[in-house]
Structure 1
Amino acid sequence: MKWLEEIQKNDLQDVGKKAFELSRLKRADFPVPDGFVITCSTCKEMFSERSRSRNSMKSKKLIRENMIPEQIFEKILSEFRKLGFPVAVRSSAVEEDRQGASFAGQYQTVLNVGGEKDLFQAIKSCFNSQFSEQVQEYARRNKISGDALSLSVFIQKQIRPDASGVLFTVNPVTGNDQEMVVEAVKGMGEPLVSGKVQPDRYLINGFSERILTKFLCADPAERLTQPGEGVASKIIQRTGSLLDDNVLYDLVRMAVKIQALYGCPQDIEWAVENRKIHILQARPITAMGYQGVKGEWTTADFRDGGVSSEVVTPFMWSLYERVFESAMYAYLKEIRLIPKTNNTRWSNVFFGRPYWNVGAVKKILARMPGFNERNFDQDLGIEITYEGDGVVTPLTPLGLLRAIPVMVTLKRMYFHQHLKTQKAIINFKHYLNSFKAKNLLNMKDGDLEALFEDLVCHRHVELETAYFKTIFNTANARLEFKAVFDKANKKGASFEYLPLITALRPLKPVIPLFKLWKISRHVRRDPKAMHVLETGGIDKIFAHPTLGKALKNFIKKYGHHSTRELDLRIPRWSEDPTFIIETLQAYAKLEDENNPQALVAVNRSIYESELKKSRRFFSGFRHIQRERFMKKLKNVRFHTWYKEEVRDWSTRVYSLIRRVSLEVGRRLMQRDILDQEDHIFYLPYPEVISIFRDKNPDPQAIRRRIEANKAYMLSFRHFENPNEIGQRWQYRNDRMEKRPGTRARYQGIPCSSGETTGVVRVIRDIGEADKLQAGDILVTRFTDPGWTPLFPLISGVITETGGILSHAAVIAREYGVPAVLAVQNATGNLADGQRVILDGNKGEVQILC
């Protein structure tokens, strides 16, 4: 037996989820009533193996009649007497309270147990509930074996509440992530759970602590009877709201902290006794609706190495939102697809992660003849919820006539935007050269303020706008080429798409990898350098005469990269070279046959073969079609390459912004305005400018805003938010319970050709990259440009997000690494050590064992 305070991290399998999480809350100083657990192993000892058969009614009778061993009997009584009565006897199952299968209300709970005789009957009732038909059926529906269920019994001090209820930290109907829902009833919460009473209902913004609405139930005064030995009845008189505002705010503050502790939306059971709040349970919200989200939104192209890869800081989002909103509006206006006045909001943040307005974009693009919704969605890895091709705009004479101005403008846009982007890059190169001469530490505050404002308001805007418009041009180039590609295949061409967009010009994200590989070859030829690399620390490695010099040159040229390049809180390689050292150590163990440049050369022949096929198909009288096909192929290949080129310059801008921002943060910390220099990233950049300029800011008010913003970010850091959100998509938590060895096939988007068989290695974060072995198949939610050096180590890539034009797809094609992207819940359905067949041609993943 274990008291809540005694439960440790490795006790989950013996105490069950409910007791384990209540222990975690209690150890985090939340007001959880005292209690102890009769562990799963003790319960098994209490009830013999023959009495636990799940298949016969006779066995259940034996459980009810079974005598508890005397030693256990006395121990339970001893702990019960310490706790005092009344108590609540609760089931705590290992399999409950998880995303997708909460088992809420399935197991037995016995309240108000007032004596020793009733205690053991309650324990048996709770233990026996795991064999009930409703529990077994619930387990079957959620693909959990009934034989795998394991249960402990949790005995807890009974609260005699004035009011109790539930609190949802996110509105589970509307999906509003800042709106908490509180439901309260008089006395105990059982009538609320069973639906016997109408509760008071409160909607509250948990982060601004503002009551939005109150719905008060007009029930009369009521006698609360609490059956049980020695337990008196209690009269509760109803006068207005069950919860006064002070108690309500205290409850909400506590809920914000609980959500921040777990990092995902919580369903919290609570009780109030004499104005003191007690937390009775906290578990993830397992079903979420999005009725309050208007339109259709996606993280596509924001997530794979983008700003949605993690919860976004207010600082980063203020930079990104400003440019994305203006760039999207300007681009669509320039190609004459929207009027000069347009109030559409193109981006938003849900659950701490940015989304963009895919519904509005599709509606606009659908005006163009030849638009095919399925092609659009597949390119970006957007979940498809319709049959066939979805919205298709036919190529009619009238439609083509109306579209001529747009198509002419778009053709000019490709050329003119390229010139603007080149100009932005040249301007930034000059700025970068002048920046190198600046000494941030010795700058006066006024000069630093001017530098910061110029960097974030002008330099960043110019280059990032160019980058976004390059992305938009790349998407349009892809749609244009796909139209002629599909038309040719309908006429019998049998072209393969992926080989035609591989073997691009040398990609900037790939060049550092080639340089690092070259260093690894020199190390292999120098035993002393190899020994230092394998056994020395970072300082010793950089002190080596040849190895250290090579690495310093590498960092000097590519140190602006990081493992999460759009998270300004993350150090760049120049600040922390640990990832580079670990990657170099892995490269040094590989043979020359793994040379990434050789792999790229192989891809070139695949592309040229497919190109010859296309030229043969368009020979003879198809000269005009061939010219059109080749021109659009050239355009999409150029923009796919150029997007990665411009992205690298964008990464350099963010590296500078981090450096300057940290210096601003350091000075604000010296003025006792910030507690840490990196707290600057929890404020939007316009507010940072205002605070730095203000001679007498309010430090306490600033700290409160920082804490509120941090709490919001922490609240969703572990939440697996849906990639698409809105009325078209209903949230599905379809985590399938797959065990190693189970044969299964999963479908995604084919993004890099080829087939490979290998061992799965699930990497949820770059910090787990050291798990990778040569030849593994990388399974992850998404990749980041900073992950590119890992590609020579792997034989295949599987991600949960992304599409044909995403970073992971582009890099995989360059290396000839088969890739299947947008495989739903790949990190949950696949496990380390499984062998799978990855088919990058069909977009399939099959588990072998």
Structure 2
Amino acid sequence: MLYSFESLLRLESRPIIGKKAESLLALLEQGVPVPPGAAIDATALESFLQHESLQEPLAACRAGTIGEVELQANFAAAPLPNALVQALRALLESSPETRWAVRSSGVLEDLAEASFAGLYTTVLNVTGFDEIVAAIKTCWASLFGERVQVYLQRQGLEPAQLQLGVVLQHMIPAQKSGVLFTVHPLSGQDTQMLIEAVPGLGEALVSGHLTPDSYTYDWRHEILIEQRIETQEHHLVAIDAPPFTAWQDLDPATAADPVLSLEEVKTICALALSVQQGCGYPVDIEWVWAAGEFYLVQRRPITKLHTRGIEGEWTTADFKDGGVSSDVCTPLMWGLYDYIWEATMPAYLRKTHLLAPESAHVLWGEMYFARPYWNVGAVKAGLKGLPGFVEREFDTDLGIEVAYEGPGHVTPTNPRTLIHGLKVLAALKQAFASRLAFNPVFATRQQKRLDELAVTPIADMTDPALFGAYLQLLRQDYFNSESAYFYHIFDNSNVTTLFKDQFKPYRERINYLALISGLQDLSHLRQNRELWDLSRQYLTAPDTLAYWRDTPEAQLMNDWRTGHSEHGMPAMRQYIHRFGHHSPRELDLTVARFEEDPGFVFTSLKQLLGLDDSANPGLSNQRQHQDYLSERAKLLKAAPWHKRRGLAAALDQLRAFLWWREELRDLSTRMYHQIRRWTLEVAKRLKAAETLMATQDIFFLSLDELDALLSGKLAGPQARQLVLTHRAYYNSFRGFRNPDEIGSRYSGKSRTQSGKVLLGVACSPGTVTGTARVIRDIFDADRLQPGDILITRFTDPGWTPRFSLLAGVATETGGMLSHAAVISREYGIPAVLAVPSLLDRVKDGQQITLDGDRGELLLE
């Protein structure tokens, strides 16, 4: 029932000790200074509550006829479990002079949506068996207090879920105490830490009896941004007699001095940064300082983060669904992406007369929480000049959180806005025609250039020649490739909007999703179709089937690498040569492509071998195309005769843009494949010259920094320091569920849903009931079984081979043109995207019904 911290660290399977105790163990595992101590597990309280003398008062407390104080009196009279008594006595005998801090450690404490902050009890500076027993019982009684019960109801949690451990720690006679937030909880500035500090014990701060000094420190730039110093007349100190703490006056001559020096601010921030990196998300920590040393006594995730210090409106919409914002992003990847974004977005808006004057010189993209965001406020500023613009419709279409009441900004229709709208419309139509004429020419030219890059003997090049050619690849070839893709995406978005306007009179009778399904020979379906054909080929040869079905993946990898020529391996090599530019995460340059590591392909093939012809992606696509033709005929029949030609042309144009969107995406993926190949060769040279310490370090330099390094404008030591700083930032947020929208307009509250019906965006028609398979990462996708409904945050093209298995798809992010939506429509499986809190609400293995027509999930 009672375990020392040291013994807990040695256990492979730990008892239930509560979040506070678990966080302290995590700090110890990171090597952070933590006061020694022990933890009482949750079974101790369960055993204690079984005592016959507590049954009546517990029932009365649950019925509300007695409160926490009366219950404490009953707890005081009841005996502790004998095993706990013996363990406590042994602990105290080993530390007879020690004073203890006794803290509650709730199992449901410090959750992402339920922190239980300040609701449980802490008792400080106790010593001796009787005092510690009383403190433990006080902590236990707090579980049944009114504050906890009210909080449970507000959070929708059941009392039966509550379990409580207790932490016993050596009491540090703190000369200074406080809290530190590794991300400023109000401004949201992600490299600024907020420290609050008081003299003496930290209980004076937590209880609100003292106004703390506050310090805002930017760890990335090593700058003290702001400090506010309070005059402190007294402080809380530990004493020997009950209540074990007392107030003492401070010397008036030093009452206005800062609690922390600048060096102490830097020291505690460096310690906090190491904690944040270890966790992978922002935390608040409680700290104490005594005899020149800092100790951490608690660590919690920051559960509510406001971003009012970030000017404007920023979103990850269209960046997160399999894109650069789907996970933490390295500086090089964002540097490449932003290189295109900052050039193409304002240029496109200017060309189409949608660039607002106040947005002419703004930043269009920025990194927050190690993920890229784009400046949606600046885009809206231009759109507000269009007649009939409704802000809520714009936000809803993109899946952006609506942070206002009503429709938001609505632009009136008047002569001035109409004239501007006609000017914009003419520019857009010209852009659409030019884009469709440009794409075939560009695709041919781009494929030729990609073929040249693929056969360039980079390993034989001298360092200067390689570095020069590499920078040309990034600055010229990549720009040509990705800018064409971005401009097409911008046009595609506007083509879709204009078609939907024409489609409005028919949307109650005609299925819009069917009209944009059944696209033939889509680039990202070719790999699926050919892998399916390969699986059918293997099924016809018993030896080959047995080999691919039964051989472990590691052996398949070895056979592939060492030239195995039997069991259809040559055909597999041809497949990987053709589609080796793909990867599980195609916009993450740190992830190996299938050409380097085809394990994902092998696993996908194994799963296809167990499917019958009903899962044939080619047949699915044919069915979807027939559905499209049928729905198209219904649409044209429903339209007045004089509008049919224009409506048919608009639909053909939309489908052409959708097809080219995927074709250009594939060319973009091929370009990133070459960039990774060349980058690894450059990294190998830089490591050999000891300019960088590891090959992966190259991904932790921005595009401009890497350019400067290879051009001789940045020295090796400076580059290595930049890598360390960028890695610290990247690691700080690798496990963080970042808000999708940030800025002064947004509250920081995440969208949640309650009840059994979850609402999202209907993206592929149909209804299915089945088993939910919650997959948080593509590398966990091996758990998918035929007929599962995939529940995940997002998908990208790397998921495509898995869709043959699925009965339906639901994601937390995305919209009509997201990868999951496009592939689901081509496979004819229902899909609902942009479902808030999806991964929190749906349990793995749960039976659910997914309605892709209504955009609903029913939890059974």
TM-score class, shorter: over 0.9
1:120 aligned partner, one-letter code: V
Contact 1:266 1:284 in 2 (8 A): yes
Distance 1:776 1:389 in 2: 38
Distance 1:676 1:804 in 2: 41
1:246 aligned partner, one-letter code: E
Give me the TM-score of the superposition, normalised by structure 2: 0.93
Distance 1:447 1:418 in 2: 37
Deviation at 1:344, TM superposition (A): 2.3
2:608 paired residue among 579, 587, 598: 587
Residue 200 of structure 1 aligns with which residue? 213
Residue 97 of structure 1 aligns with which residue? 110
2:283 paired residue among 254, 260, 266: 266
Cα distance change of structure 1 residues 108 and 539 upon mapping to structure 2, 3 Å threshold: closer
Correspondences of 1:808-819 after superposition (within 5 Å): 808-819=820-831
Contact 1:735 1:829 in 2 (8 A): no
Contact 2:320 2:814 in 1 (8 A): yes
Distance 2:75 2:245 in 1: 32
State whether structure 2 residue 317 is matched by structure 1 residue 297: no
Residue 330 of structure 1 aligns with which residue? 347
Distance 1:784 1:280 in 2: 41
Residue 48 of structure 1 aligns with which residue? 50
Contact 1:209 1:252 in 2 (8 A): no
State whether structure 2 residue 510 is matched by structure 1 residue 495: yes
1:780 aligned partner, one-letter code: T
Cα distance change of structure 1 residues 369 and 638 upon mapping to structure 2, 3 Å threshold: farther
Distance 1:710 1:398 in 2: 51
Residue 40 of structure 2 aligns with which residue? 38
Distance 1:713 1:473 in 2: 33
Deviation at 1:47, TM superposition (A): 4.2
1:14 paired residue among 3, 13, 16: 16
Distance 1:207 1:81 in 2: 47
Contact 1:180 1:206 in 2 (8 A): yes
* Identity among equivalent pairs (%): 37
Contact 1:378 1:803 in 2 (8 A): no
State whether structure 2 residue 545 is matched by structure 1 residue 530: yes
Deviation at 1:673, TM superposition (A): 1.8
Distance 2:141 2:773 in 1: 40
Deviation at 1:495, TM superposition (A): 2.4
1:609 aligned partner, one-letter code: S
Residue 4 of structure 1 aligns with which residue? 5
Residue 595 of structure 2 aligns with which residue? 574
Deviation at 1:49, TM superposition (A): 4.8
Residue aligned with 1:15, SS: coil
Residue 182 of structure 1 aligns with which residue? 195
State whether structure 2 residue 759 is matched by structure 1 residue 747: yes
Cα distance change of structure 1 residues 598 and 55 upon mapping to structure 2, 3 Å threshold: farther
1:445-476 superposed Cα distances (whole Å, 9 cap, x missing partner):
11101111111000111111111111100110
Residue 561 of structure 1 aligns with which residue? 582
Deviation at 1:72, TM superposition (A): 2.9
Contact 1:167 1:181 in 2 (8 A): yes
1:412 paired residue among 425, 430, 436: 430
Is 257-266 or 373-382 further displaced after alignment?
373-382
Deviation at 1:224, TM superposition (A): 3.4
Deviation at 1:348, TM superposition (A): 1.4
Residue 177 of structure 2 aligns with which residue? 164
Residue 695 of structure 2 aligns with which residue? 677
2:468 paired residue among 450, 457, 460: 450
1:218-271 superposed Cα distances (whole Å, 9 cap, x missing partner):
224657353537979777653622111222111101111111111111011001
Distance 1:749 1:54 in 2: 46
Distance 1:89 1:387 in 2: 47
Residue aligned with 1:18, SS: helix
Is 545-554 or 176-185 further displaced after alignment?
545-554
Distance 1:813 1:529 in 2: 33
State whether structure 2 residue 670 is matched by structure 1 residue 644: no
Residue 599 of structure 1 aligns with which residue? 620
Cα distance change of structure 1 residues 629 and 227 upon mapping to structure 2, 3 Å threshold: farther
Cα distance change of structure 1 residues 99 and 180 upon mapping to structure 2, 3 Å threshold: same
Deviation at 1:488, TM superposition (A): 4.5
Distance 2:108 2:116 in 1: 8
State whether structure 2 residue 382 is matched by structure 1 residue 361: no
1:304 aligned partner, one-letter code: D
Deviation at 1:652, TM superposition (A): 0.8
Contact 2:548 2:606 in 1 (8 A): yes
Residue 129 of structure 2 aligns with which residue? 116
Residue aligned with 1:751, SS: strand
Contact 1:664 1:692 in 2 (8 A): no
Cα distance change of structure 1 residues 653 and 55 upon mapping to structure 2, 3 Å threshold: farther
State whether structure 2 residue 535 is matched by structure 1 residue 514: no
Is 401-410 or 130-139 further displaced after alignment?
401-410
Deviation at 1:284, TM superposition (A): 0.5
Contact 1:162 1:236 in 2 (8 A): no
Deviation at 1:396, TM superposition (A): 4.8
1:612 paired residue among 633, 638, 643: 633
Distance 2:736 2:434 in 1: 42
1:11-55 superposed Cα distances (whole Å, 9 cap, x missing partner):
565211101110111122100100011221133334435426354
Contact 2:506 2:635 in 1 (8 A): no
Cα distance change of structure 1 residues 370 and 226 upon mapping to structure 2, 3 Å threshold: same
Contact 2:831 2:850 in 1 (8 A): yes
Distance 1:230 1:333 in 2: 70
Correspondences of 1:716-735 after superposition (within 5 Å): 716-733=733-750
Residue aligned with 2:836, SS: coil
Residue aligned with 1:509, SS: helix
Residue 857 of structure 2 aligns with which residue? 845
1:336 aligned partner, one-letter code: H
| Structure 2: unaligned runs, 5 residues or longer | none
Distance 2:595 2:519 in 1: 28
State whether structure 2 residue 775 is matched by structure 1 residue 773: no
Distance 2:411 2:627 in 1: 33
Residue aligned with 2:482, SS: helix
Distance 1:242 1:195 in 2: 17
Contact 1:764 1:781 in 2 (8 A): yes
Contact 2:331 2:726 in 1 (8 A): yes
Q: CA RMSD in A?
A: 2.2
Residue aligned with 2:382, SS: helix
Cα distance change of structure 1 residues 392 and 733 upon mapping to structure 2, 3 Å threshold: closer
Correspondences of 1:385-424 after superposition (within 5 Å): 385-386=403-404, 389-393=407-411, 396=414, 398-424=416-442
Contact 1:299 1:723 in 2 (8 A): yes
Number of residues of Structure 1 aligned to a counterpart in Structure 2: 836
Cα distance change of structure 1 residues 457 and 206 upon mapping to structure 2, 3 Å threshold: same
Correspondences of 1:337-352 after superposition (within 5 Å): 337-338=354-355, 342-352=360-370
Is 370-379 or 229-238 further displaced after alignment?
229-238
Residue aligned with 2:180, SS: strand
Distance 2:60 2:728 in 1: 48
Distance 1:21 1:292 in 2: 29
Cα distance change of structure 1 residues 35 and 223 upon mapping to structure 2, 3 Å threshold: closer
Contact 2:349 2:355 in 1 (8 A): yes
Distance 2:182 2:852 in 1: 41
State whether structure 2 residue 801 is matched by structure 1 residue 782: no
1:247 paired residue among 236, 260, 264: 264
Give me the TM-score of the superposition, normalised by structure 1: 0.95
Residue aligned with 1:510, SS: helix
Deviation at 1:375, TM superposition (A): 4.0
Deviation at 1:763, TM superposition (A): 0.7
Deviation at 1:544, TM superposition (A): 4.4
2:191 aligned partner, one-letter code: Q
2:452 paired residue among 434, 445, 461: 434
Cα distance change of structure 1 residues 230 and 96 upon mapping to structure 2, 3 Å threshold: closer
Deviation at 1:555, TM superposition (A): 0.9
| Structure 1: unaligned runs, 5 residues or longer | none
1:394-424 superposed Cα distances (whole Å, 9 cap, x missing partner):
5555533332222111111112233444444
